[in-house]
């Protein structure tokens, strides 16, 4: 089924409507398939294929999770919960306060709130620019830059973890980090001071970021590869990020069930982009290590549900799974809560060859010069 979806270039990601209740989608393609999908496995697959073609023809919301639900008879949130994912999906293009009944559900934590808001945002963006169009735009984007190559080269050159320097105006945990915010100037300063890559927050509602920041930096003459730091829930966003010039995207294991991760890693690799797959605990790491094609894993020291930051997390996960990671030739990025040269040395000793740093650079008066402070030396570039 997955390869069928991949072959059809179908977006497979957003969960089906009304997952908080047992009610089903009312979209035409969905009801066509739901009616048709009862019967033998072979018959169900044949109908699912018809539905995919129907959905492609009619540009309707349709995704692999719906197919999985039809195939297994299980609600997608049940499937996700069985994988240890606490985020529930809604897939109703409304904000919680606007709904009734189940729509009144309150998010359990900030990450769930961000994902619910993202579902609304993505469905609105898709209505304006369907998958077909965004895929076409991605074909005209500037060429992909080698994100992993840049990290590897910088690591060898400086013998300290390669820096992915983040451009983030605000965050849910810290509020506004920088009033005087010019993404291009910050990116130029990062480049001049030895950063290997740049990460740009594009979420507007919670981080005051935008795709415009990403596109402007990409077209500014800055040569570093760019990570689109987004909350990806739908492969449409990967094509969109590529169309704006992104070279890498973030996939968060706490948000995405296994099939979505697998599919999105594949979409990313097919586009020549890098997927930075982020984990926070052992269970997420084990899920990600089973996925073919993963080349870059981020260990987030920040618990995205509670905001607690602890660099011990990187050490603990590397102690437990470092051998498996190295055996697979996967690079590891230590993410979040890195403020001093001691912090950097600590995660380096734990086994990471790259770091992702936002707050400590964004809060510095001169984010470029703050890089030398972070490493205790000037970086060569
Ligand atoms: O930064 C947050 O408050 C946050 C909240 C909820 C979800 C994600 C969040 N941050 C994204 C990141 O992972 C960080 O921007 C990145 O790792 C850099 O972290 P830091 O150096 O601590 O700013």
Q: Would you give per-residue pLDDT tens digits along the chain (381 residues)?
A: 333 333 333 333 332 322 333 333 333 333 333 333 333 333 344 445 555 555 555 544 445 556 666 666 677 788 788 888 888 887 554 444 444 445 567 898 999 999 999 999 999 999 999 999 999 999 999 999 999 999 999 999 999 999 999 999 999 999 999 999 999 999 999 999 999 999 999 999 999 999 999 999 999 999 999 999 999 999 999 999 999 999 999 999 999 999 899 999 999 999 999 999 999 999 999 999 999 999 999 999 999 889 999 999 999 999 999 999 999 999 999 999 999 999 999 999 999 999 999 999 999 999 999 999 999 999 998
d(CA 293, CA 328) in angstroms, rounded, equals: 10
- Give pTM, 2 decimals: 0.83
Q: Taking the CB of residue 271, how many other CB atoms lie within 10 A of it?
A: 21
For 156-167, give one letter per residue: b (16+ CB within 10 A) or e. eebebbbbbbbb
- Ligand 1 atom at shortest distance from the alpha carbon of 361: 21
356 lines ligand 1 (CB under 6 A): yes
Ligand 1 center–CA 203 separation, angstroms: 12
What CA–CA distance (Å, rounded) separates 248 from 241? 9
The secondary structure element, H or E, covering residue 331 is strand 331-335
Is 311 near ligand 1, meaning CB less than 6 Å away? Answer: no
Nearest CA to ligand 1 atom 13: 336
Query: Is residue 178 in contact with ligand 1, taking CB distance under 6 Å?
Result: no
In angstroms, what is the span from residue 321 Cα to ligand 1's centroid?
23
Rounded to 5°, angle at Cα 216 from 215 and 222: 100
Residues 6+ apart with CB under 8 A from 73: none
């Amino acid at each position: 089924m997955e390869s069928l979806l991949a072959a059809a270039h179908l977006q497979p990601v957003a969960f089906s409507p009304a997952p908080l209740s047992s009610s089903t989608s009312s979209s035409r393609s969905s009801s066509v398939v739901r009616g048709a999908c009862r019967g033998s496995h072979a018959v169900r697959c044949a109908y699912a294929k018809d539905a995919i073609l129907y959905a492609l023809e009619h540009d309707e919301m349709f995704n692999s999770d719906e197919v999985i639900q039809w195939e297994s008879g299980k609600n997608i949130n049940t499937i996700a919960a069985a994988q240890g994912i606490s985020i529930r999906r809604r897939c109703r293009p409304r904000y919680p306060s606007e709904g009734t009944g189940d729509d009144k559900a309150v998010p359990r934590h900030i990450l769930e709130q961000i994902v619910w808001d993202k579902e609304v945002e993505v469905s609105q963006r898709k209505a304006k620019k369907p998958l077909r169009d965004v895929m076409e735009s991605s074909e005209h984007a500037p060429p992909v830059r080698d994100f992993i190559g840049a990290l590897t080269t910088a690591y060898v050159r400086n013998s300290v973890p390669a820096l992915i320097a983040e451009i983030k105006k605000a965050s849910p945990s810290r509020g506004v980090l920088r009033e005087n915010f010019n993404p291009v100037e910050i990116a130029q300063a990062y480049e001049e001071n030895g950063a290997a890559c740049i990460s740009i927050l594009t979420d507007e509602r919670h981080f005051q970021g935008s795709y415009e920041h990403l596109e402007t930096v990409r077209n500014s003459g800055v040569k570093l590869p760019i990570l689109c730091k987004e909350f990806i829930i739908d492969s449409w966003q990967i094509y969109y990020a590529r169309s704006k010039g992104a070279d890498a995207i973030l996939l968060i294991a706490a948000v995405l069930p296994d099939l979505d991760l697998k599919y999105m890693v594949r979409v990313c690799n097919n586009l020549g982009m890098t997927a930075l797959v982020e984990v926070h605990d052992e269970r997420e790491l084990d899920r990600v290590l089973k996925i073919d094609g993963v080349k870059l894993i981020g260990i987030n020291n920040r618990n995205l549900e509670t905001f607690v930051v602890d660099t011990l997390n990187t050490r603990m996960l590397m102690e437990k799974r470092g051998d498996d990671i190295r055996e697979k030739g996967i690079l590891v990025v230590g993410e979040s809560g890195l403020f001093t040269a001691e912090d950097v040395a600590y995660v380096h000793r734990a086994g990471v060859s790259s770091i992702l740093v936002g707050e400590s650079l964004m809060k510095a008066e001169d984010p470029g010069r703050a890089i030398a402070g972070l490493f205790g030396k000037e970086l060569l570039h």
